[in-house]
Amino acid sequence: MTDIFQRFGMTKSARAVICREIGKPVVVERITVQPPKRGEVMIKLAACGVCHSDLSATNGTISMKLPIILGHEGAGEVIEVGEGVDGVALGDHVVSCFIYMCGKCRYCAMGRPVLCLDQGKALNTLPDGTLRTHDARGEALNIFSGCGVMAEYATVAVDNVVKIDSAIPLACAALVGCAVTTGVGAVFNTARVSPGSSVVVFGCGGIGLNVIQGARIAGAGRIVAIDTLQPKLEMAKQFGATDTLLAKPGEDLVKPIKKLTGGGADYAFECVGNGELAALSFRAIARGGMAVVVGLAKPSDTTSVRTMSLPFEEKTLTGSYFGSCVPRVDYPRLLGLYMAGRLKLEELITHRYHIDEAPQAFADLESGKNARGVITF
Ligand SMILES: [Zn+2]
Ligand SMILES: [Zn+2]
């Protein structure tokens, strides 16, 4: 049967996780997915991680066009290939990539595609502005960041997938589509953490745990994990934290951090998305240190730092988006570390959900229950 579908490029019926209304639970609906056009591929998804950005779309923190099919951390098999596609073939295993890369602007040219000048181009649609997805009434459904992979099938642009080694379990591979690359990439690419250095990590969710394991792989000597929840700190230890600090409301953590790191950390990573925490990260680093904001704050949020410490202490406050990655370089590199037993992926998946359990998966994410919850198809 599959062969016939491929030959005639038939529309597929699929179940998908959709946000129809801000502030309401996600819904699971049966949708149709049209076959790929030029430069596109159809994927049969095996797994999709549930990310904070998906949640942010459902509660209005980030503004997306509704109704929208969620999901940008998926992995699956290519089951149909549109005209003019090369580099990806039928049967290949792929991981989704949620950034749009024009390949021509100066940032793409210098190997920094996360800064692509056209990055807003495919926020709710395919790069050409159209959609292959419709609901039961025939209404077009938007797709999250050119992906919309929280569904059994998805048709996406070939530039929004990266081919991977098919020996890698797809549920694990999916996680490099966002959380792992964001966290480990911030350590490897943005900060370039050096062996023996001290690192402090604010927030031990899906991103923070990956910053911690990135720092461990990079050979950091001291890794201080900070969170408001004790179970998250226990997880942090499993991923390589050498020390933990339980944050209490109103407590200034600079003193204990300085004590643990011998006067201040070489690197601090803010993985929550909060201006006050970003300022605290900056205060917690030593002279010549670097504070990296990885968490996505609300648009209205601001950070203030003591201006004088910039020249006198040569401190750096910077940010990292999607681990400053080049997907075709970094996905295989990270999955290579996994295959070598150095990067933990199975351990990140603390719960697997059936697609019908998607509303629960989002509720669990909100209550901080999981390192990563993954929907498997
Ligand atoms: Zn994400
Ligand atoms: Zn570009």
Given a cut of 70, is residue 170 above it in pLDDT?
A: yes
Residue 3 sits at φ, ψ, to 5 deg, of: -60, -45
Q: pTM for the whole thing?
A: 0.95
Average pLDDT over residues 27-34: 98
Average pLDDT over residues 89-110: 96
- For residues 256 and 300, give the distance between their C-alpha atoms in angstroms, rounded to a whole number: 30
Given a cut of 90, is residue 369 above it in pLDDT?
A: no
Average pLDDT over residues 193-210: 97
- For residues 152 and 76, give the distance between their C-alpha atoms in angstroms, rounded to a whole number: 9
Average pLDDT over residues 256-281: 96
The answer for residues whose C-beta is within 8 angstroms of residue 278's C-beta and 6 or more apart is: 270, 291, 293, 297, 303, 317
- For residues 365 and 358, give the distance between their C-alpha atoms in angstroms, rounded to a whole number: 11
**What's the pLDDT score for residue 69?**
98
Among all bound ligands, the one having the nearest atom to the CA of 103 is: 2
The pLDDT mean for the chain works out to 95
Tokens at residue 138, please?
């025939």
Given a cut of 50, is residue 1 above it in pLDDT?
A: no
Q: Per-residue pLDDT tens for 57-68?
A: 999 888 899 999
How far, in Å, is the centroid of ligand 2 from the Cα of 202? Answer: 31
**In the block, which residue shows the tokens 């750096």?**
316
Q: Per-residue pLDDT tens for 335-368?
A: 999 999 999 999 999 999 999 999 999 999 999 8
How far, in Å, is the centroid of ligand 1 from the Cα of 286? Answer: 30
How far, in Å, is the centroid of ligand 1 from the Cα of 53? Answer: 5
Given a cut of 70, is residue 114 above it in pLDDT?
A: yes
**What's the pLDDT score for residue 8?**
59
The answer for residues whose C-beta is within 8 angstroms of residue 87's C-beta and 6 or more apart is: 158, 163
- For residues 236 and 347, give the distance between their C-alpha atoms in angstroms, rounded to a whole number: 11
**What's the pLDDT score for residue 67?**
98
Q: Per-residue pLDDT tens for 212-248?
A: 999 999 999 999 999 999 999 999 999 999 999 999 9
Among all bound ligands, the one having the nearest atom to the CA of 113 is: 2
**In the block, which residue shows the tokens 């699929």?**
14
Average pLDDT over residues 191-207: 97
How far, in Å, is the centroid of ligand 2 from the Cα of 183? Answer: 23
The answer for residues whose C-beta is within 8 angstroms of residue 255's C-beta and 6 or more apart is: none
For residue 146, what are the CA distances in angstroms to 62, 95, 96, 100, 323? Answer: 15, 13, 9, 8, 19
Given a cut of 50, is residue 250 above it in pLDDT?
A: yes
H or E element, residue 349: strand 349-353
Among all bound ligands, the one having the nearest atom to the CA of 145 is: 1
- Confirm if 199 and 222 have CB atoms less than 8 A apart: yes
